[in-house]
Structures are given as structure tokens and as C-alpha cells.
Structure 1
Amino acid sequence: MFRKVLIAEDTDYMSSGIRMALEGLQIQVVEYAQYCDEAFLKFKKALLDKEPFDLLISDLSFIENPNPQKISEGEELIETLRALQPSLKVIVFSIEDKPYRLRHLCKQLSVNAYVWKSIHGQKELRKAISEVYAGHFFISPKLNGVLKEKESLEITEYDVFLLKGLAGGMDQQEISDALRKKGVKPSSRSSIEKRLKLLKEYFNANNPTQLVAVTKDFGLI
């Protein structure tokens, strides 16, 4: 089993499901940090002492610290620690369930497990630790479908124009009028509606506001 584990979680460790999930696993050293900067310092000290952590269990979002933080989010913490120790195993334990975010974490950042904080979270976290130790990838069964590859969608300048229009507060008729003035086709409301529907489906957005937020995260607008 893992010898040394670092937990980055803003919930009180003693009352969190993590503590109960770790019970009985015979992990020799468990250290806990409420903020990312604190986790980074503990991790760096362990490296300097030549007693590195084997596993990081981290949330993605943390309560705001009154003191300025260099690292404020779990995703950045994971990237930073992996740069220092590429062999580090990482389990994300979070309430986040946005498909595009999960795909980024699992495919681009290559986390070893993603456990969704839910009624089954404690049980699934315990299983994730065992699976990762055995060299396997684990994701909560409820979220497994989000990692399936989607048919690629080419994002065009036309799409970017639609998204920027939405971000600027324009409705579909105003976007249609703007396209006509620029001589861009298709410019009908029905064409715009169909394209926006396709974009919402591709980015798993429930409404135009969420679509704008997601595409901003991707740096499209």
C-alpha cells in the first residue's frame, strides 16, 4: 500500500470522508493541508528531506484564504507537483461533474483517479486508492460515460462570432442582423439557433450562459 499520502482538502480532515476511507489501509504517513500553498510547502519539504509523498488526494476548489495564495486551485496544484515529481500518483476527490473539466483532468493532466463527492464517495475513494496502487485507473461509475470520445467538431470563425455575440449580450435576432451587415451566411435566425444548439451539445452546456462560460474556459472567446 502507499506509504505516504498528502491530502489537499479545505473541509476539516477529521470530519471528511477521506479520513474514514483511509482507515485500515495501513498507510504509514498521512499529512493534511487546507490550502494549496500549504500542500505545496509540505510536498517541497518532503522532497528536500528525501521522503517524498507517493500519493496526492486533492479537491479542485478551496475556500478563499484571507492571505494571498500563489496556488489557489487544485488543478494548478496537481500540475505544479507533477512537474516536481512526475511519478506522483494523483486522485481527485471533488464535487465537480462538468464533462469538459473531467476530460481535461483525466486525459490532459492524466490523473490516476477521479472520485465524485457523493453519497458513495467514501466507498469509491477507498476503492480508487486500491486501484491506483495496483496500477489501474479509476473513475466514479456515475461519471464513466463522460470520458467517451465525442465526434470532433471544428470550431470556425462563424462559431466564434456567434459566441462573442452571446457573450456581449446579443440575442439571436441581433446576431442575425450583425451577420447580414457583414455579408456573412448563413445569417437566418433558424441557422443560428441550430448551430448554437450543436455547440451546446458539444460542450455539454445547458443554456447560452453556460456555453459562453465553457468556451471562455477553453480560450475560444
Structure 2
Amino acid sequence: MFQKVLIAEDADYTSSGIEVALRDMQIAEVAYAQYCDEAFLKLKKAWLDNKPFDLLVSDLSFKEGMHKQRLSSGEELISEAKKLQPSLKTIVFSIEEKPYRVQQLCNELEVNAYVWKSNHGQEELKKAVQAVYNGNFFITPQLAHALRDKVSFEVTDYDIFLLKQLAEGLDQKEISEILKENHIKPSSISSVEKRLKLLKENFNANNPTQLIAITKDFGLI
């Protein structure tokens, strides 16, 4: 089992459920940080002291503290932690359940597990820690659909931009003009039309209104 684990969580550690989940897992050392900057400093010190952490368990959202933080989210913390220590295992423990965000975090950050803070969060976290220790990827079963089916289609920043403009009620010609004004390519009306058509096909939407409704449900916009 992991011998040194760092928890990054702005809630009271002793009442967050994490301590209960890890108490009986024979982990020799469990450290806690309430802010992302604090967590990163602990990771860095341990790394420089040649006593690195084996696992980072982090929430995604953190309350603002009295002092401005360089790292303000778990996403930023995990990204920086992996740059410092590429071999570090990481688990997201969050209430975030939007499929697109889950997919983005798992694919782009390459976390080793994604645990949804739900009624069964404590038990799921224990399963995740064990799975990651065994070299396996873990995701809360209710969120597994986020990594397959429709959202497996690669949605780009360009797509998000198009969808947001469409949600504002703009037509393809108006979207094309805004793309040109912002020097975003491709910007032709035909390019906008083709990409929106592909998005509608991927999300099984019959019209722009339905496309916006579906992508909102997926957390894209």
C-alpha cells in the first residue's frame, strides 16, 4: 500500500470523509493541505528532501484564502505536481460530475482515478486508492459514461466558441464575422456550417436548439 499520501482539500479534513476512508488502509503517513499553494510546497519539499509523496488526492475547487494563491484550483495543482514529479499518482475527489469536465480532467491531466463526492464517496475513494496502487485506473461507476460514447468525440476550444455563439442566438453568418474579428480560423461560413453539422451528428441533435440543450447538459457551455 502507499506509504505517503497528501490530501488537498479545503474542507475540514477530519470531517471530509477522507480521513475515515484512509484510516484503515495501512498508510504510514497522511499529510493535509487546505490550499493548493500549500499542497504544492509540501510536495516540493518532500521531493527535494528525497522523501516524495506516493499519492496526491485533491479536490478541484478551493475557497479563496486571506492571501492570493498562485494555484487556485485542484486542476492547476495536479498539473504543476506532475511537472515536478511525473511519477506521482493522482486522484481527483470532487463533486464535479459534468461529463465533459470529467473527460477533460481524465484525458488531459491523465489522473489515475476520478472519485465523485457522493453518498458513497468514502467507499469509492478506498476502492480508487487500492486500484491505483495496483496499477489500475478507477472512475466512479456513475461517471464512467463520460469516457465513452458521445463525449469520446474530441470537442475542441473552437467547438466551444461556436457553441457559445450559437447559444447567444447568432446565426452562422454572424458567427463567421466574429471569428474573423477575433482572427480565429477557419472563419468562413461554410467552415462554421460544416463543424456545426458534425457536432449535431455527434450529439444526435436535430437542430441548433437541441444541440445547445444537449451540450449544456454535458457541461460544454
TM category (shorter chain) comes to 0.7 to 0.9
What is residue 85 of structure 2 aligned with on the other side?
85
Name the SS of the counterpart of 2:207 in structure 1: helix
What is residue 130 of structure 1 aligned with on the other side?
130
Q: Is structure 2 residue 47 aligned with structure 1 residue 47?
A: yes
What is residue 17 of structure 2 aligned with on the other side?
17
Change (3 A) 1:165 1:127: closer
What is residue 108 of structure 2 aligned with on the other side?
108
What is residue 219 of structure 1 aligned with on the other side?
none
Deviation at 1:16, TM superposition (A): 1.2
Give the letter aligned to residue 16 of structure 1: S
Q: Deviations over 1:25-82 (max 9, x none)?
A: 1111110000000001111110111100000000000011120100000001000000
Deviation at 1:177, TM superposition (A): 8.9
Deviation at 1:117, TM superposition (A): 0.2
Q: Which runs of 5+ in 1 are unaligned?
A: 215-221
Q: Aligned partners of 1:175 and 1:49: how far apart in 2?
A: 58
Deviation at 1:23, TM superposition (A): 1.1
Name the SS of the counterpart of 1:76 in structure 2: helix
What is residue 195 of structure 1 aligned with on the other side?
208
Deviation at 1:195, TM superposition (A): 2.8
Runs of 4+ with >6 A deviation: none
Who wins on radius of gyration, i.e. which is larger?
1
Q: Is structure 2 residue 72 aligned with structure 1 residue 59?
A: no
What is residue 164 of structure 1 aligned with on the other side?
165
TM-score normalised by the chain length of structure 1: 0.77
What is residue 217 of structure 1 aligned with on the other side?
none
Name the SS of the counterpart of 2:93 in structure 1: strand
Deviation at 1:160, TM superposition (A): 5.1
Q: Aligned partners of 2:49 and 2:209: how far apart in 1?
A: 54
Q: Aligned partners of 1:161 and 1:57: how far apart in 2?
A: 35
**Residue pair 1:162, 1:175 contacting (<8 A) in 2 also:** no
Change (3 A) 1:100 1:158: closer
**Residue pair 1:113, 1:139 contacting (<8 A) in 2 also:** yes
Name the SS of the counterpart of 1:78 in structure 2: helix
Query: How large is the Cα RMSD of the aligned pairs?
Result: 3.1
Identity %: 52
Change (3 A) 1:161 1:82: closer
Q: Aligned partners of 1:88 and 1:158: how far apart in 2?
A: 32
Q: Which runs of 5+ in 2 are unaligned?
A: 178-188, 194-199, 201-205
Deviation at 1:149, TM superposition (A): 4.1
Aligned length: 196
